[in-house]
Amino acid sequence: MASAAAEMDLVDILDASSGPIDIARYVDFVRDPAAGAIATFEGTTRDTFEGKLVEELRYEAYVPMAARRLAAICAEARGSWPLLRLAVAHRLGTVGVGEASVFVAASAVHRAEAMEACRYLIDEVKASVPIWKKEVYENGEVWKENKEFLERRAAHHEMDPAHELKETSNGEE
Partner 1 sequence: MEIAGGLNDGTGEMNESKVENSAGQDIKIKVLFFARARDLTGVSETSLEMPDGSTAGDCMRNLLVKFPSLQEIYNSMVLAINEEYAAESTLLTSKDELAIIPPISGG
Interacting residues with partner 1 (CB under 8 A): 43, 59-62, 64-66, 68, 90, 101-102, 122, 125-126, 128-134, 143-146, 149-150, 153, 160, 162-163, 166, 171-173
The distance of closest approach from Cβ of residue 143 to partner 1 in the complex, given in angstroms and rounded to an integer, is 5
Amino acid at 115: M
Going by the annotation, the residues of the binding site for substrate are 110-111, 126, 133-135
Going by the annotation, the residues of the binding site are 110-111, 126, 133-135
Q: Where are the alpha helices (DSSP H) in the chain?
A: 2-6, 23-30, 63-80, 111-128, 147-159, 161-168
Spatial neighbors of 145 by CB under 8 A, at least 6 apart, are none
Note whether 30 and 113 are within 8 A (CB): no
The distance of closest approach from Cβ of residue 69 to partner 1 in the complex, given in angstroms and rounded to an integer, is 8
- Give dist(CA 121, CA 104) in Å, integer: 7
The distance of closest approach from Cβ of residue 104 to partner 1 in the complex, given in angstroms and rounded to an integer, is 9
- Give dist(CA 171, CA 66) in Å, integer: 31
The distance of closest approach from Cβ of residue 110 to partner 1 in the complex, given in angstroms and rounded to an integer, is 26
Q: Which is nearer to partner 1, 38 or 100 (CB)?
A: 100
Q: Which is nearer to partner 1, 53 or 150 (CB)?
A: 150
